Chains A and B, each alone.
Chain A
């Protein structure tokens, strides 16, 4: 029981998880045909990168890595606000969210 509590996890596992999340985000961006879900895949990629930032901050005991994640969160919040406003504007003019139907620059 004691050994179970003192178990340690190699940091490479955290990095592999972050790489897997990033790849799943790319795959989602490629296979999804809905604007909102594609946007969610981008958030998934951002989260994967954040995890590797936190892992390296732990590895080198550097606070700045964590602060960078904080900035990424701020930018992601701004990006979500603007991106969703764009999606709403697209939906108003096209009445669809399928990317295959949004293929003209001008109506």
Chain B
């Protein structure tokens, strides 16, 4: 059962990721990224991370991707024009990707002591997670709230500043 679910959703993951690269319209890419993220949530559930599976669907597939599709529609982004890209990417980038993938795959396949995932492993409960998060890791948690506040202020400042610039040049 575990094997079947893993194969199906890993297949969805890879198919969505490859589709993201093939599609030339940003909306199609965004939708295939949603497929990738939702199937990753299922894989998290298989690995016993129930809170992360829920957060993956709500935060990633929900909030972040809605933001992406919203911006794509706001900017009315059409089909992207294909160019050859930079020469550096062609000569250094793609060989580097192949080398990285080969090295990682070799290390993983030769690693000793990697276990197996079973359905009977049990899940990490949200209670267990939050106990560690709110006692031992309270400071990092609070720091992320400051980070989010700064990000919101930055996004608002950037958007409104651009608007003012446009008004000024438009008024001249």
Please report A residues at the B interface, Cβ cutoff 8 Å: 4-17, 19-28, 30-34, 36-37, 39-41, 43-44, 47, 50-51, 54-55, 57-59, 63-64, 66-67, 69-71, 73-82, 84-89, 91-93, 97-98, 100
Contacts and interface: CB of A to CB of B under 8 A. Distances in A.
- 10 interchain residue pairs of minimum CB distance: A78-B151, A7-B3, A34-B80, A85-B155, A8-B116, A19-B104, A24-B17, A85-B158, A23-B101, A89-B162
12 contacts: A19-B105, A22-B100, A34-B26, A43-B60, A58-B117, A66-B124, A77-B148, A78-B151, A80-B68, A81-B155, A82-B155, A93-B162
A17 to B, nearest CB: 5
A28 B47 contact: no
Contacts of A69: 49, 52
Interface of B: 1-4, 6, 10, 13-14, 17-18, 20-21, 26, 29-30, 33, 36-37, 40, 43-44, 46-49, 51-52, 55-56, 59-60, 63-64, 67-68, 71-72, 74-75, 77, 80-83, 85, 89, 93-94, 96-97, 100-101, 104-105, 108-109, 111, 114-121, 124, 128-129, 132-133, 137, 140, 144, 147-148, 150-152, 154-156, 158-159, 161-162, 165-166
Most A C-beta atoms less than 10 A away, residue of B14, B17, B30, B161: B17
A75 B147 contact: yes
A93 B85 CA distance: 23
Main secondary structure of the interface of A (DSSP, over half): helix
Contact of B10 (A17, A39, A87): A17
Contacts of A6: 118, 120
Contacts of A30: 85, 89, 93-94, 97
